[in-house]
Amino acid sequence: MNKYRLVGLIPKDNGSGGGAWLGTLRLFKGLNLILGKEKLKLFVAIKNLDNDFVETIHKFGFSKYCYFLMALSSRLINQIILQNKNKNKNHFSFNLFPSILDFKLYKCSKKGLNLYLHWVGNNFVSIWLIQLITKKKNVLIKFADYWWLTGGCHYPKNCDGFKKNNCIDCPAVRKNLRWIPANLFLIKRKILNKENIKIISPSKHLFGTTKKIIKNPNIFYIPNGIEIKEYQKRDFNKKSIGIMAHGLKDPRKNFSQIKEIFSLLLNQDSLIINICGDSTDKLVKTDNNNKLCELNNYGYIKDELDLQEFYLNSNHILFFSIKDNSPNQMMEAMSYGSIIVAFYNNFTKEHISNNHNGYLLSRCLSKEEITANIKKILDKPNKDQISLNAYHYSKSKFSQEKMSNKYSNLLN
C-alpha cells in the first residue's frame, strides 16, 4: 500500500475547545494544495467538516465517544493527582494511562512517511504511544502551548521549573504523586531531543523559550497561516467593538476582567457591541437592563461567512486574554482590517505595534481606566490607516500559502 506523504493525528478538525483544531485544518488545507490530493491524511476523533483529507479514526462516530471517554478519564485522573487548590485553575493532561484510541492511532500513524502531532491532551493519545510512534519516523511536533515542555500542565502559572529542566517537584501535584509529572517530563525531553523530531512554534516567545532548553537543533518558528481576502473599506464613523467570548471557562481567557469592562461599555451611547463565541450567555447575563449601546449577540459562530460578517461589523476587537501563544482571534481580526485592542504581553507584542497596527494597554490599569482608554481609541482620527496597517501586516505574516510552503520543506 502506498503511504501518505503526511499523516496528522488530532482530536477534532473544527469545533469548540480552542484554536488548535482550526490551525491544523488550515495547515492541512494549504498542504493539500501544495502536495496534491491523496498525499496527506488528517485522522480525527470528531469530524465536523466535509474535507476529503480528513478521516475519523474509527468509522460510524465511534471514535467520538472514545475521545469523550478519554477526556472524562483525564479529568478524573486530575482530581486524584492535583492538589485541591489547583484542580480548576490550570489545564493538566498527564496522558499517563493507555488511551482506548491508542491501537487505532498506531495503525493510522503507520500510514504516513511523515507524522504531524499538535494538540494531544486529554489522554487523546497516551505518552507511551507517543514514545513508540516517534522512534524513527520524521515527526513534526507543533507546540500549541507548553504541554510538550512540562510534566503535564499546558500553561505553567508562575512556575519556571520546566525552563530549568526540572519538573521533578511540581507544586500543583500532591506530594506523594509528584513522581508522575517528573517521569513524564523526562520522557518528553527524550522525545524532543531526538534527531528525527522537528519542533515548530507559531510564537516567537515560545520558540525562544524552546531554543534555550531543548538541545535539538531542529526548532523552527513558523507563524500560523490563514486565508486572507481582499481588504474591504469600513465606515469608521460607526463606533463598533467586537468581543469574542470563547472558552471563557479557562482562567487564561480572563473572564472576570472582560465582564467588568463589558458592563461599563454597555453604558456608552452611540456604541455598537458585537459578541460571539461559546460563552456569550455568560456576558449577556451581565445586568444590561439600562444599557445605552446597541448589543448584537452572534452566538457560537460555525460558518466562515458569519465569522467574516462579525469581523467586518466590528471596527475594533477587544482581546484581553492573559496567555495565548498564537491566537487565531488576533490573526483573523487583523486579516479583515479590524483594529485590535489588547493587553501588552509576550504574545501580543509579537504582532501588535502600539499606535501603528493596533493598541496595547496595561493590564494593571483599573477597569475604569481601561474603559476610558478604549473610548479614546474609538475617537482617534487615524482609524483608516491603523486598519490598513493591520491588514498589510497580516498579509505579510499570516499567509496560509507561506505557512504551508515552510511546513512542506520539513517533510521527508
Query: pLDDT tens for residues 335-350?
Result: 999 999 998 988 888 8
Q: How many helices (H) and strands (E) does the chain have?
A: 13, 13
Range 356-362 average pLDDT: 95
Q: Which letter does DSSP use for residue 323 in this model?
A: -
d(CA 26, CA 326): 14
DSSP strands (E only) in 304-364: 316-319, 339-343, 358-361
pLDDT of residue 120: 93
Question: Among 3.40.50, 1.20.140, 3.40.198, 1.10.1740, what is the CATH number of 4-222?
Answer: 3.40.50
The residue extents of the domains of the chain are 4-222, 239-397
The pLDDT mean for the chain works out to: 89
| β-strand pairing of 4-12 with 112-117 | parallel
pLDDT of residue 251: 65
What pLDDT band is residue 244 in, cutting at 50, 70 and 90?
A: confident
Instruction: Judge whether 4-222 and 239-397 match in fold.
Output: yes
Q: Is the pLDDT of residue 381 over 80?
A: yes
For the chain, the straight-line distance linking the first and the last C-alpha, in angstroms and rounded, comes to 18
What was the pLDDT predicted at 249? 67
Q: What is the pLDDT of residue 16?
A: 66
Q: What is the pLDDT of residues 93-151, one digit of tens each?
A: 999 999 999 999 999 999 999 999 999 999 999 999 999 999 989 999 999 789 999 99
Average pLDDT rounded to a whole number, residues 220-244: 92
| From 56-65, 159-168, 386-395, the region with the lowest mean pLDDT | 159-168
Q: Does domain 239-397 fall into CATH 3.30.70.1140? A: no
CA distances from 237 to 5, 318, 358 (A): 51, 18, 18
Predicted confidence (pLDDT) at residue 152 exceeds the cutoff of 80 = yes
Query: Residue 403's pLDDT is what?
Result: 94
Report the share of the chain in percent with pLDDT over 70: 93
The whole-number average pLDDT for the span 33-58 is 94
Predicted pLDDT at 193: 95
Residue 317, strand partner residues: 242, 340
pLDDT tens per residue across span 396-411: 988 899 999 999 999 9
pTM of the model as a whole: 0.88
Q: Are 36 and 55 in contact (CB under 8 A)?
A: no
20 vs 186, higher pLDDT:
186
pLDDT, average across residues 295-314: 89
Confidence of residue 240 (pLDDT cuts 50, 70, 90): very high
Contact between residue 383 and residue 339 where contact means Cβ atoms under 8 Å apart: yes
Residue 88 has pLDDT above 80, yes or no: no
pLDDT of 165 higher than 60: yes
pLDDT number for residue 289: 63
**CB neighbour burial string for 209-242, b if at least 16 within 10 angstroms, e if fewer:** bbeeebebebbbebbbbbebeebeebebeebbbb
pLDDT of residue 89: 59
Q: Of 258-262, 284-288, 341-345, where does the model show the most confidence?
A: 341-345
Place 11 in a pLDDT band, splitting at 50, 70 and 90. Answer: very high
CA-based nearest residue to 338, from 319, 322, 314, 356:
314
Q: Give the Cα separation of 321 and 219 in Å (integer).
A: 26
CA dihedral 298, 350, 26, 299 (to 10 degrees): -10
DSSP-derived 3-state class of residue 197? strand
In the chain, what percentage of residues exceed pLDDT 90?
62
